[in-house]
Amino acid sequence: MAEGIGYAILGRIGQNLVAPIGRQFGYLFCFNTNIQNLETQLDSLKVTREGVQLGVDETRNNVRTVGPHLEAWLTKANANTAEAETIINDKAQVQKGCFNGWCPNLKLRYSQGRKAVKKTQELALLHAEGSNYIQSSYNPPPLRIEPISRTTEFQGFDSRILVMNVIIEALKDDGIPLIGICGMGGMGKTTMAKEVPNRTKNLFNEFPMAVVSQEPNLKQVQSCIAEMLGLQLDMENPIVRSSRLRERLLQNDKKILVILDDIWEEFDLEELGFPLEGGSNKNCKILFTSRNQNLWKGIQNKRYIQLQVLVGEEPWHLFRQKVGDCADDLDLLPLAKQIVNECGGLPLALVTIGRALTNEHNQCHWNNALQQLRAPCSESLSSEVPAKVYQALYFSYNFLKDEKAKKLFLHCCLFPEDNDISIEHLVRYGIGLRWFEGIDKVDEIRDRVNVLVDQLKSCYLLLDGHFEGCIKMHDVVRDVAISIAAKDKHGFMIIHGAKLREWPKKVTYELNTSISVISNEIVEFPGGSRCLKLEFLLIVCQNSSLNIPSNFFEGMGELKVLDLSITTYISLLPSSLQFLSNLLTLYLDFCQKFDNISIIGKLLNLEILSFRFSNIEELPEEIGGLVNLKLLDLTKCDQLKRIAPGVISALVQLQELYMDGCGIIWEREGKEGGENASLREFESLSNLNTLEINIKDVVCLPRIPLFSKLTK
């Protein structure tokens, strides 16, 4: 028995000796495996560290304090990551050994193998700890200004390089917190401002930018800057909003350049949360663009930088780049030189007329352009828009060969200044205004509109918007478009502005064909106004005191397109809406629920109906009477719970149906006397070719061929 106990003790001693010896040999002979394990664990830790860093960044962006445990973990993770990378990078030296690899360096191999094993264990512990600090999701990172291609918009001209150098020197001066780029419309101030981030990445960490415009919404400017900084500025109290924004702009670990574009009148920067402490503030500076160089006279430490016209050979080089090789034709070269001279070095005029004449070899068109530039300009545009810019833009507009392109261009000025314009809106407006007679398919009209948009963009009359599927107008181009609409008697009435407190009063509205009224201050609309020629009406007014008389639409019998964003605070649509017998396109986006939504069913000629992001709860059976409806948009109507049975199947002309994000729960099989529509109703829609619908709650689809060819 004693002998057995002895053997057991010796066995345990042997095991205790073998394990450490085996581990030591493992450092030596399993070197490659140890390094591979370290690399795998390092990759896992990096993913964890990235997740923790996202949370830390979000916390700091929102001016909250990061917990000391997170700071300590990140410090330790960064240090261990660097040590692990050093061990991995030394792998080649270990494998090289002596005598060109014939004799391995056993001592170094053992040492590095041991380090790899130890470090792998440390990384595993860090990874496990860091996993507790990771959330499932984070807010998206701050937005960045899209860079301007230096080969197209920002030219390497001496006059522009000189201005850029002056701007950079001013930005380097800690005593100058406010810098303005000033000049007439069409000089390229915005382009210059957007180029600054590309040239000053070594000076600043972040470059938030907002467009202020002629009728500024300063709360929206705050929100735009905050969004680009990753700051959630959802509080309503103006003092709290400004204080939070100010804290974010003065964070010690960030250097921030705020860019405010297109300022017309000065406002209290400090009150809005934009700090201007001069020499004591080295973290935040403000760069703005304006046609007015007399802003903020009371601020001592500021710098205004004037952007002048192009000089010397610069105008020719810019024009030549836009117009192409045709300018080199012997017959056209003299005309091209004269056109450049007439443009007076104004970049927007040179670019616009150059693009209009691109690859144009007909001498008559060049003569016409020169004559229009030389003609006296009697247009009463603001003094900040040079006559030559107006004439160049008017020529580009007049040179458009497609009348539909002209109509589309002019309708873009009905939207607010600096506003992103949805191309899809233009498609649906165009259907209602009958721009494309003879084309019945919605998708074919959409293709035509996109072609027209490309034509206008190629002439510099339209620009890419900030978001996909959107376009925008340069503010000077919009001014000219409004002037053209008035000059050519198109019957446009455009009344926009935060200061507009009452419906515009006119002797008569009988000549107006298109009216755009945008203001959140209007409290009452007129009733029964005679608008006998009115075909297009766009109204945006979100006012809790808004009063809309029931007879508001009585004198608008010819109305074809109605975009009515006035519905946030009302529960009843004006009863006179039902008498708009010629209405073809109706937008009621972002509206509340209506108690009388069924009156829309009386608009029997309606072809486009949109309720996007609205709070309607039911699509009543009267909607089934819209037998001419081609497009129904219920996107993100998450309160929609019921569609009356038979409504969908009655819309026999429907080509496009958008219901993604709706709250509706479909019945897979139709039930006799059921309370809701079923998927069976789609079976009768032979014209339907576009369907966006949420059917995730349906166990299985009915055997309808339609579903096999549509995106579900």
Q: Tens digit of pLDDT for each residue in 91-145?
A: 656 655 554 555 565 566 666 667 777 878 888 888 887 777 777 655 666 666 6
Q: Is the pLDDT of residue 630 over 90?
A: yes
Q: Residue 21 burial by CB count (10 A; 0-12/13-18/19+): exposed, middle or buried? A: exposed
Q: How far lies 708's CA from each of 608, 652, 683, 684, 705, in Å?
A: 26, 19, 12, 15, 5
Looking at residue 399, its pLDDT comes to: 83
pLDDT band with cut points at 50, 70 and 90 for residue 292: confident
Average pLDDT over residues 377-383: 53
Q: Is the pLDDT of residue 13 over 60?
A: no
Furthest CA-CA distance within the chain: 124
Looking at residue 18, its pLDDT comes to: 46
Looking at residue 155, its pLDDT comes to: 59
Who contacts 14 (Cβ-Cβ below 8 Å, separation ≥6)?
Answer: none
Category of 325 on φ-ψ map: left (φ > 0), alpha (ψ -120 to 50) or beta: alpha
Q: For residue 563, give both structure tokens.
A: 């975009």
- Beta-bridge partners for 517: 495, 539
Average pLDDT over residues 452-456: 91
Q: Which of 11-15, 40-44, 544-548, 649-653 has the lowest mean pLDDT?
A: 11-15
Q: Is the pLDDT of residue 10 over 50?
A: no
| Higher-confidence position of 158 and 674 | 158
Share of the chain above pLDDT 90, in %: 17
Average pLDDT over residues 670-687: 71
Q: For residue 679, give both structure tokens.
A: 């998927």
Share of the chain above pLDDT 70, in %: 80
Who contacts 240 (Cβ-Cβ below 8 Å, separation ≥6)?
Answer: none
Q: Residue 633 burial by CB count (10 A; 0-12/13-18/19+): exposed, middle or buried? A: buried
Q: Residue 9 burial by CB count (10 A; 0-12/13-18/19+): exposed, middle or buried? A: exposed
Which among 184-193, 216-225, 391-400, 605-614 has the top mean pLDDT? Answer: 605-614
Looking at residue 705, its pLDDT comes to: 53
CB burial string 48-57: b at 16+ within 10 A, e below: bbebbebebb
Q: Is the pLDDT of residue 693 over 50?
A: yes
Distance CA 667, CA 72 (A): 55
Distance CA 128, CA 120 (A): 12
> For the structural domain made of 158-306, what CATH number should be given?
3.40.50.300
Looking at residue 421, its pLDDT comes to: 93
Distance CA 388, CA 376 (A): 10
Q: Is 12 helix (H, G, I), strand (E, B) or coil?
A: helix
Q: Which of 30, 44, 70, 51 minimizes the C-alpha distance to 122?
A: 44
Looking at residue 228, its pLDDT comes to: 86
Q: In what order do the strands lie in the sheet with 492-496?
A: 492-496, 514-518, 536-540, 561-565, 585-587, 608-610, 631-633, 656-659, 690-693
Distance CA 310, CA 94 (A): 63
Residue 235 has phi, psi (to 5 degrees) of -80, 150
Q: Is the pLDDT of residue 242 over 60?
A: yes
Q: Is the pLDDT of residue 711 over 50?
A: no
Average pLDDT over residues 297-325: 86
Average pLDDT over residues 620-640: 90
Looking at residue 423, its pLDDT comes to: 95
Place of tokens 């664990």: 41
Looking at residue 602, its pLDDT comes to: 92
Question: What are the boundaries of each domain within the chain?
Answer: 2-131, 158-306, 327-399
Q: For residue 407, give both structure tokens.
A: 């109509």
- Beta-bridge partners for 287: 179, 259
Distance CA 51, CA 681 (A): 47
Which among 35-49, 231-245, 674-688, 696-710 has the top mean pLDDT? Answer: 231-245
Looking at residue 424, its pLDDT comes to: 95
Average pLDDT over residues 293-306: 85
Who contacts 363 (Cβ-Cβ below 8 Å, separation ≥6)?
Answer: 331, 332, 335
Looking at residue 448, its pLDDT comes to: 94
Q: For residue 62, give both structure tokens.
A: 């929102």
Q: Which of 114-118, 151-155, 345-349 has the lowest mean pLDDT?
A: 151-155
What number of H helices and E strands is found in the chain? 21, 19
R_g (Cα) of the chain, nearest Å: 34
Q: Which of 310, 307, 377 minimizes the C-alpha distance to 343?
A: 310
Q: Which of 374-383, 573-582, 620-629, 635-644 has the lowest mean pLDDT?
A: 374-383
Q: Is the pLDDT of residue 348 over 50?
A: yes
| Higher-confidence position of 104 and 712 | 104
